[in-house]
């Protein structure tokens, strides 16, 4: 069985400044097969894992992304040990009246067969988005397009750049707070539209993890100060818009509805192999 609940970004006030905080609903993963564990133990393990989903961990947004898998594996072993020791969780926690399916399924008739419909026939993973850049998906359009335009205008002075994002994405990568405007660690840089656009503009989009060596790069910091992120309700999903004002008076507008890797803007085989 695999049980997983993804992290949810949020903000909290601290020392009179708004800081991003990731409230991590700890991820639990347990694989149990009758050849490894008795069926009664597997049933008990499933019950306990769903009980255990109520445990939360709040941490600063620095390295917590790196330890998500570690938490998942660690807690899976804890659950196995507790189940082996006879700890009992909520009975019928999946299909019961107040169980997981009853609480979260949108189907009023609890159409359980739909969970396995087209099993072995429909392969949803083929629609999985590929991430070409080692940064938050919300910044990928800016990296690709901004990096390309930046290389074409190498040395041209930029007066200002304005990034338009959806409201949810603006919270995650566009808030004008110190650790996004001038990030001091890798993860904050990955979740900064300011840093990622400035880095791609100056050094190109195909630099991989090289950005991690440029957290203190002065040209990036100067350009980041001239970038503004705004909320635009016409921007959907992982899309973005970019308005560029040059010091010579010219301007350039770009609409980026689909970042590279989406089905509408596919990542080809050569690009995947290069990555």
| Other beta carbons less than 10 A from residue 252's beta carbon | 12
Determine which helix (DSSP H) or strand (DSSP E) holds 17, and give its type and residue range.
strand 17-25
Q: Same domain for 152 and 252?
A: yes
Q: Same domain for 97 and 194?
A: no
Q: Same domain for 150 and 65?
A: no
Q: Is residue 128 part of a domain?
A: no
Global pTM reads 0.67
Q: Same domain for 101 and 142?
A: no
Q: Is residue 145 part of a domain?
A: yes
What is the CATH number for 162?
3.30.1330.120
Average pLDDT over residues 182-211: 94
Distance of CA 269 to the CA centre of its chain: 23
Q: Same domain for 146 and 260?
A: yes
pLDDT reported for residue 18: 33
- Residue that finishes a domain, picked among 75, 96, 111: 111
Give the pLDDT confidence of 165-175 residue by residue, as tens digits: 999 999 999 99
Which strand ranges, in their side-by-side order, compose the sheet holding 227-231? 227-231, 158-165, 240-246, 251-256
Q: Same domain for 145 and 97?
A: no
Q: Is residue 71 part of a domain?
A: yes
Comparing 46 with 258, the larger pLDDT belongs to 258
In total, how many domains does the chain have? 2
The shares of helix, strand and coil residues in the chain, as percent rounded to the nearest 5, are 40, 20, 40
Q: Match 């009758």 to its residue by tokens.
A: 34
Confidence of residue 56 (pLDDT cuts 50, 70, 90): very low
Q: Same domain for 70 and 157?
A: no
Q: Same domain for 84 and 142?
A: no
Average pLDDT over residues 112-126: 82
Q: Same domain for 150 and 248?
A: yes
Confidence of residue 101 (pLDDT cuts 50, 70, 90): confident
Average model confidence (pLDDT) across the chain: 80
Is the pLDDT at 223 greater than 90? The verdict is yes
Average pLDDT over residues 30-42: 69
Q: Is residue 80 part of a domain?
A: yes
Contacts of residues 38-44 at CB distance under 8 Å and 24 or more positions apart, as own/partner, are 41/83, 41/84, 42/1, 44/83, 44/87, 44/88, 44/89
Q: Same domain for 46 and 172?
A: no
- Give residue 247's domain range: 137-274
Q: Is residue 11 part of a domain?
A: no
């Amino acid at each position: 069985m695999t049980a997983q609940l993804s992290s949810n970004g949020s903000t909290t006030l601290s020392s009179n400044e708004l800081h991003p905080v990731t409230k991590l609903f700890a991820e639990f993963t347990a694989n149990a097969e009758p050849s490894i564990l008795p069926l009664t133990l597997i049933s008990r393990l499933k019950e306990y894992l769903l009980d255990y989903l109520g445990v939360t961990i709040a941490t600063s947004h620095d390295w917590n992304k790196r330890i998500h898998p570690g938490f998942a594996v660690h807690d899976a072993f804890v659950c196995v040990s507790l189940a082996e020791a006879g700890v009992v969780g909520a009975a019928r926690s999946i299909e019961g009246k107040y169980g997981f399916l009853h609480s979260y399924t949108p189907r009023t008739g609890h159409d359980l067969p739909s969970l396995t419909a087209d099993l072995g026939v429909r392969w949803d993973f083929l629609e999985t988005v590929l991430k070409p850049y080692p940064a938050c998906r919300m910044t990928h359009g800016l990296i690709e397009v901004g990096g390309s335009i930046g290389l074409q205008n190498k040395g041209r002075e930029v007066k200002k750049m304005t990034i338009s994002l959806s409201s949810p994405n603006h919270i995650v990568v566009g808030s004008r707070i110190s650790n996004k405007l001038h990030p001091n660690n890798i993860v904050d840089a990955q979740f900064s539209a300011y840093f990622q656009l400035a880095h791609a503009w100056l050094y190109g989009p195909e630099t991989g993890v090289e950005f991690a060596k440029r957290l203190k790069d002065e040209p990036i910091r100067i350009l980041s100060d001239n970038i503004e992120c705004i909320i635009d309700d016409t921007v959907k999903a992982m899309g973005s818009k970019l308005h560029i004002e040059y010091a010579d008076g010219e301007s350039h507008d770009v609409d980026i509805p689909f970042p590279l890797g989406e089905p509408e803007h596919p990542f080809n085989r050569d690009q995947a192999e290069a990555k």
